[in-house]
């Protein structure tokens, strides 16, 4: 049962082959057994989860009523610990919020649990305030990759990725600010989708960089991601960046043939900087698409090499503003000993934030300061516009852009921890998508030395349905996404 897809689990629940309580218990038992090794979950509350499962079983049994069962009612999933959930500890992987119990639900949580009837198995570990590419900056310790526990799972949604890869949960939520869904999906052999900016509400999703953050699904397959995305999207008047547009059914177009699909291959993605074996796996995946009826065309993203420096001006600037609310006054950690108000602020933030968060706050405050705003922040925003324009131009000659998700397979724990620049370069292929606000996803496309490789798909604005279709057809022709680590046996 643990390796079944969301569709298969939904069919089993509908046919009364298993109850939501039994299914949730199965996964909770696996979490209890395997999480001490993987550290994928930071909060598990068996009683809360089973209470939700009992409610789901009642909805399924009732068939109709005030809360009718939906397609995924009763299915347990994991939630990244960046989403506020009423009555649950919501830590954001930080000492600053280690004891914070949310008084309300994020819109994504509300939609999934109250409306769709999904069951929460718990909150997953993450890089502190989503700042990291390896899940090593968490206050609760690093997450370990189920494919090799000496290696990182990617970040910042590494806990969600490890949980699904090891089948501690059939699917999970993640957030993506510069690749934080796609990169861990690639390193853990999952399918992960970052939607167009504004398609999924950010209300109740603790902010890192407000103009870049976006929630999305992580699962074994594109079909599972489509089913999960259906429960996440929709206009939210509580989020000023939420887009008011018709809600789509992302499952409907999955079977569309790929004949005539034009795949853009950016020459900047296929030069130096990527491991040769990773690139070979990516090229083999593109060759498989050609067998499915697609054609390839070379495109150019001439400003993509500026995406990392632009991102590491814009994101820290927004983070320095967003994280100013964590001051020890209203909620979260407060330093136990201080002399006056200013001393309390200083000691609380010095003790409550980890090294990477403090590094980014300092960078952000610097680039926004008088005399440097025009030279750094404003210039980075201009470059951001150039990067977005490059994509607009590229999509005139192609339907979807493909390339590597990550320049390498999962690296060793601690390997890049002492070199922030090398860590930042882990997201070299993913960051431009966030700067432009486009949808992007990663799909499994092979292995190098027993470690997974991800193929990145980038679509035009609101092309999530097309991306899911393109990924699904590839997964019907290959079995990379069906492979599980030994720990998932």
**What secondary structure does DSSP assign to 79-114, as a single string?**
EETTB--TTSB--TTSGGGTT-B-SS--HHHIIIII
Query: Are the CB atoms for 218 and 191 separated by under 8 Å?
Result: yes
Give me the catalytic one of 19, 20, 180, 304: 180
Q: What is residue 120's three-state secondary structure?
A: strand
Best CA proximity match to 126, nearest among 88, 97, 104, 167: 97
Q: Among this protein's residues, is 156 annotated catalytic?
A: yes
Give me the catalytic one of 156, 242, 406, 487: 156
Within its chain, how far is the Cα of 181 from the centroid? 3
Q: Among this protein's residues, is 160 annotated catalytic?
A: no
C-alpha distances out from residue 23 to 3, 13, 73, 203, 205, Å: 12, 9, 12, 30, 27
Query: Are the CB atoms for 243 and 199 separated by under 8 Å?
Result: yes
| Alpha carbon distance 155, 418 (integer Å) | 16
Best CA proximity match to 90, nearest among 102, 78, 79: 102
| Cα torsion 362, 366, 368, 369: sign | positive
Q: Among this protein's residues, is 347 annotated catalytic?
A: no
Residues in CB range of 159: below 8 A, 6 or more apart: 39, 40, 41, 42, 78, 80, 81, 124, 125, 126, 135, 138, 143, 153
Give me the catalytic one of 19, 80, 157, 408: 80
Residues in CB range of 344: below 8 A, 6 or more apart: 328, 334, 335, 338
Best CA proximity match to 133, nearest among 393, 339, 475, 406: 406
Cβ count within 10 A of residue 475: 21
Query: Are the CB atoms for 352 and 326 separated by under 8 Å?
Result: yes
Residues catalogued as catalytic: 80, 156, 180
């Amino acid at each position: 049962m643990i390796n079944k897809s969301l569709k298969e689990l939904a069919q089993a629940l509908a046919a009364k082959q298993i109850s939501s309580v039994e299914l949730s218990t199965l996964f909770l038992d696996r979490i209890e057994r395997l999480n001490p090794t993987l550290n994928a979950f930071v909060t598990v509350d068996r009683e809360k989860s089973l209470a939700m499962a009992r409610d789901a079983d009642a909805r399924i049994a009732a068939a109709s009523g005030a809360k009718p069962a939906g397609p995924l009612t009763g299915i347990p999933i994991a939630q990244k610990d960046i989403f506020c959930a009423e009555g649950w500890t919501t830590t954001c992987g930080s000492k600053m919020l280690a004891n914070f119990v949310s008084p309300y639900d994020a819109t994504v949580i509300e939609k999934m649990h109250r409306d769709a009837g999904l069951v929460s198995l718990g909150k997953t570990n993450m890089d502190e305030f989503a700042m990291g590419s390896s899940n090593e900056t968490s206050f609760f310790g690093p997450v370990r990759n189920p494919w090799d526990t000496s290696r990182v799972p990617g970040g910042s949604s590494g806990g969600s990725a490890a949980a699904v890869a090891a089948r501690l949960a059939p699917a999970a939520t993640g957030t993506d600010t510069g690749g934080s869904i796609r990169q861990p999906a690639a390193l853990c052999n999952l399918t992960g989708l970052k939607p167009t900016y504004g398609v999924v509400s950010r209300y109740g999703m603790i902010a890192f960089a407000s103009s870049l953050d976006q929630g999305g699904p992580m699962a074994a397959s594109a079909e599972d991601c489509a089913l999960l995305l259906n429960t996440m999207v929709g206009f939210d008047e509580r989020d000023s960046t939420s887009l008011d547009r018709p809600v789509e059914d992302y499952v409907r177009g999955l079977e569309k043939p790929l004949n005539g699909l034009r795949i853009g291959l950016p020459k900047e993605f296929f030069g130096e900087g990527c491991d040769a074996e990773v690139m070979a796996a990516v090229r083999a995946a593109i060759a498989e698409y050609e067998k499915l009826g697609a054609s390839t065309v070379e495109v150019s993203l001439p400003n993509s090499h500026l995406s990392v420096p632009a991102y590491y001006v814009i994101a820290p600037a927004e983070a320095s503003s967003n994280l100013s609310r964590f001051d020890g006054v209203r909620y979260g950690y407060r330093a136990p000993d201080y002399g006056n108000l200013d001393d309390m602020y200083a000691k609380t933030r010095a003790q409550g934030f980890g090294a990477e968060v403090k590094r980014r706050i300092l960078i952000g405050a610097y680039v926004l300061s008088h005399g440097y705003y025009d030279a750094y922040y404003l210039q980075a925003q201009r470059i951001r516009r150039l990067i977005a324009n490059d994509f607009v131009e590229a999509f005139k000659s192609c339907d979807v852009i493909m390339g590597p998700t990550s320049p390498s397979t999962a690296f060793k724990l601690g390997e890049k921890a002492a070199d922030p620049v090398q860590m930042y370069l882990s997201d070299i292929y993913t960051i431009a998508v966030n700067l432009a606000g486009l949808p992007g996803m990663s799909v499994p496309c092979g292995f190098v030395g027993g470690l997974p490789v991800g193929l990145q798909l980038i679509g035009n604005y609101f092309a999530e349905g097309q991306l899911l279709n393109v990924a699904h057809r590839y997964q019907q022709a290959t079995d990379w996404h069906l492979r599980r680590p030994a720990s998932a046996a």
